[in-house]
Structure 1
């Protein structure tokens, strides 16, 4: 595994241990369902890790949209835990998209 994949894998492990921010359960921010945003990114990243750095075009498109959605909602998050939780998702999504196929 190269260093970038290992870095995403470490973020993924931290994400799996993290509790979902309670305030964001069933919440929509800027018309974004925060649970679905988490699930969409997590699904793409876990697939990418299982396939050792490969992501199909459909998941790549989903992840690209998720990064744009995160850019809109990140500034609206309150509290350290919310910012850390979604900041980690953002870091994983961007790293996954920026990795050469």
Structure 2
């Protein structure tokens, strides 16, 4: 079965999002983190359904979830997708993605 795994940058994004929301509501923060992880696992079932975002990441795709954009790429030999970033919609995605270097 296809699965999603998280690049260290995406893991840090998830921690940052959880911490930010926890400032107001710890229970909601933990629930939202679980929602994000579940959405990522569901995306692994249909990786091509995301919007192509080659202008930000060669072979990359993205999909929205609430106020966030999930960036990922397919890893066919592992029957998986790699979650690269989870960014709030208000952030400068082009700068962030341009400044990152993802190994293949």
Q: Output the TM-score relative to the length of structure 1.
A: 0.31
Higher relative contact order (CA 8 A, sep 6+): 1
Q: Which has the higher helix share?
A: 1
